[in-house]
Amino acid sequence: MVKAIFEPDGRRVEARAKESLLKIAQQVGITIRSECGGKGTCGKCRLQVSPKQSVTPPTSVEKEHLTVKEMKMGYRLACQALVTGDLDVQLMVPRESRITKRRLQIEGITNPVTLRPVVHAVQVSVPPVDPTHPVADDERLIEGLRKRIGGKRGSWVIPMWVTRRIPEIIRESLGQVTVTLWDKRTVIDVNAGDTREDLFGVALDIGTSKLVASLHSLVTGNLLAVAGLENPQIRHGEDIMSRLSFAAKDPTNRAVLQNLILDSINLLLARLAQEATISLDHIYELVVVGNTVMTSLFLGLDTKYLGYGPFTAPARGYLNVSSDILNLSLPPQANVHVLPCIAGYVGADAVADILATGLHRRKRMSLLIDIGTNSEVVLGNREELTACSCAAGPAFEGAQIEHGMKAVSGAIERVSIHPDSMEVEVETVDNKPPIGICGSGVVDAVAQLAEVGLLTPHGRFTDYPTSRLLQDERGKRFILFERRDGERESTITLSEHDVSQLLLAKAAIQTGYRLVLDHHHLSPADLDRVFIAGAFGNYLNPASARVIGLIPRVPSNRVTFVGNAALAGARLALLSRTHRSQAIRLAKTTHFLDLARHPDFNQTYTSSLFLPKETEE
């Protein structure tokens, strides 16, 4: 038995060796186009598979329907490829093979931004060769650049990959070329004719549990496509500590983790380019954010000393690397820019969160909570900022919850329980029949159970008599949804174990915001605004979040949901060099609060494990 993860929904199932991908998908209710019913004649059930060795080699039927290039990119027919049973398999259902579309919950707030990208393109006329004085091709290109934008001849750098292209391009175009420049002086591409519009960039947030990327035009700033994937490193540990210890176990493991993430980024990039119908060859910059562990593993840095105190980052970041060093499927000279980290695990994602919410420009005190497997909390204003990181674990992503799932079609995202009848009403994503419960649904359910008196402050079910409470060998559980549909029966429950998983996760975050507030001698009432970031944040019921203590007790009108603020911040740094230099300043000046060394950590954490009383805080 191996694990199969279906993207973009992130549905995980156990799969048996020799089972076809189509059959595995059908068993868990994932609908893949298949007009011939799995006979291999329609060629519609296309999937992208990673790693390729996790399934049997392509059959002759597949070679008829797929091009060599597609097979190189991992495309297979779901009815033909069988799981080998040796390796876990990650499957991407491409748009053309999907029947329902997933809910897009991955964009962050979009701030207006004055476009000042680091990459720009200019049209250049390359002077022809004077046969009596044949000047080298690269020098003629520079001469053309000098005439077009001024400056000395020695001002430009042309990296090797570009130099190799110059002779062909300047002749094919009869000297009329478009030169792509990075930071004004590095020639990162040359193309024939006027291709100034073909200038794109990608913002990428590497989360502990998922990757989200957005594609933008660097000419208009427009958002062209968004795509997300599970973080494939999950197979080596749900949280950052277990990935760090996996990396430390064997010298090759760090490369294993790096390659997993690079392969997935290449999948994302291909998907973005496909959706926007642009060429990968015109994506010239990738701005990356993530916590310190994620960005360090992405860059292949030595993470050995990041796993124990004082949790020193191998590099502060603000790194510019050319894409060829990372084997990304971008032009070799495309620039990969990693935003700087603050300290410890408070990484480039926290810097991006600040950029996106403008915390550093506000006069009054604001609190930012970025909810994720690794969560960040930032408090402050334009005078002073303090940040810490909290190991919440993946409960909010639906993992470690028995019927948990991501917020895709059919996930319960809202729960209300009638205080007298104990009748339950649920709302699901896309109003589809319920098939599981996502993070915001669990928060709602726990808050409602507490409010109607079915849960003690310790997260135990009370003895209140209701048929919705079951007791079996695994303990007590509450029935959220039940249906009998002919032969098929479906029951979605929330167990005491699920409740304790949620309380552990919220305790980590609550400890974080309580200690940063203490550090500034502030109480929740002093907060002008509370920003809630994170993929699941937008669908969170703020009242429920307050009830369980996931966010401090402030009036609802002071709470703002900002979605994936880390991605939004990365986008700002992609589109504007002003924001990029701002990020460097923020990384240096934001104070790092090390919770692991905080004298009040244990006491605060222990008291945060409970559901707060109404009067508290």
Residues found near its own copies in the complex (CB under 8 A)? 129-139, 158, 160, 163-168, 171, 299-302, 304-305, 309-317, 319, 321, 325, 341, 343-344, 592, 594, 597
How deeply is 19 buried, as exposed, middle or buried, from its count of CB atoms within 10 A (0-12, 13-18, 19+)?
A: middle
Torsion of CA 74, 202, 352, 94, to 10 degrees: -40
Choose between 351 and 611: whose C-beta lies nearer to its own copies.
Answer: 351
What's the min distance (Å) between Cβ of 282 and its own copies?
21
What's the min distance (Å) between Cβ of 231 and its own copies?
22
What's the min distance (Å) between Cβ of 336 and its own copies?
10
Residue type, 330: L
What's the min distance (Å) between Cβ of 483 and its own copies?
53
What's the min distance (Å) between Cβ of 568 and its own copies?
25
What's the min distance (Å) between Cβ of 207 and its own copies?
21
What Å distances lie between residue 416 and 121, 450, 537, 562, CA to CA? 55, 11, 18, 24
Rounded to a whole number of angstroms, the CA Rg of the chain reads: 26
Choose between 257 and 405: whose C-beta lies nearer to its own copies.
Answer: 257
Is the Cα dihedral 231, 234, 240, 245 positive or negative? negative
- For residue 371, give the nearest of 538, 490, 526, 243 by alpha carbon: 538
- Strand order of the β-sheet with 119-125 is 119-125, 176-182, 186-192
Distance of alpha carbon 386 from alpha carbon 589, whole angstroms: 9
Choose between 250 and 302: whose C-beta lies nearer to its own copies.
Answer: 302
Choose between 352 and 415: whose C-beta lies nearer to its own copies.
Answer: 352
What's the min distance (Å) between Cβ of 443 and its own copies?
33
Give me 480's structure tokens. Answer: 């959220």
What's the min distance (Å) between Cβ of 193 and its own copies?
19
- For residue 539, give the nearest of 394, 367, 407 by alpha carbon: 407
- For residue 528, give the nearest of 369, 377, 365 by alpha carbon: 365
Choose between 312 and 602: whose C-beta lies nearer to its own copies.
Answer: 312
Choose between 512 and 537: whose C-beta lies nearer to its own copies.
Answer: 512
What's the DSSP call for residue 504? H
Choose between 136 and 525: whose C-beta lies nearer to its own copies.
Answer: 136
Choose between 85 and 300: whose C-beta lies nearer to its own copies.
Answer: 300
Choose between 341 and 535: whose C-beta lies nearer to its own copies.
Answer: 341
SS (H, E, C) 226-287: EEEEECHHHHHCCCHHHHHHHHHHCCCHHHHHHHHHHHHHHHHHHHHHHHCCCCHHHEEEEE
What's the min distance (Å) between Cβ of 262 and its own copies?
14
The helices-and-strands tally (H runs, E runs) of the chain is 16, 26
Residue type, 18: K
Distance of alpha carbon 356 from alpha carbon 351, whole angstroms: 9
Choose between 148 and 597: whose C-beta lies nearer to its own copies.
Answer: 597
Choose between 229 and 286: whose C-beta lies nearer to its own copies.
Answer: 286
Conformation bin of residue 565: beta by default, left when phi > 0, alpha when psi is -120 to 50? alpha
Torsion of CA 416, 422, 424, 425, to 10 degrees: -60
User: Strand pairing partners for 337?
Assistant: 287, 320
Choose between 169 and 545: whose C-beta lies nearer to its own copies.
Answer: 169
What's the min distance (Å) between Cβ of 530 and its own copies?
27
> Hey, how many other C-beta atoms are within 10 angstroms of the C-beta on 116?
13
**In sequence order, what E strands does 371-523 have?**
374-380, 385-391, 411-417, 424-428, 436-437, 469-472, 475-485, 488-495
What's the min distance (Å) between Cβ of 129 and its own copies?
5
Distance of alpha carbon 305 from alpha carbon 294, whole angstroms: 14
What's the min distance (Å) between Cβ of 265 and its own copies?
16
Choose between 134 and 486: whose C-beta lies nearer to its own copies.
Answer: 134
What's the min distance (Å) between Cβ of 25 and its own copies?
39
User: Strand pairing partners for 46?
Assistant: 77
> Hey, how many other C-beta atoms are within 10 angstroms of the C-beta on 487?
5
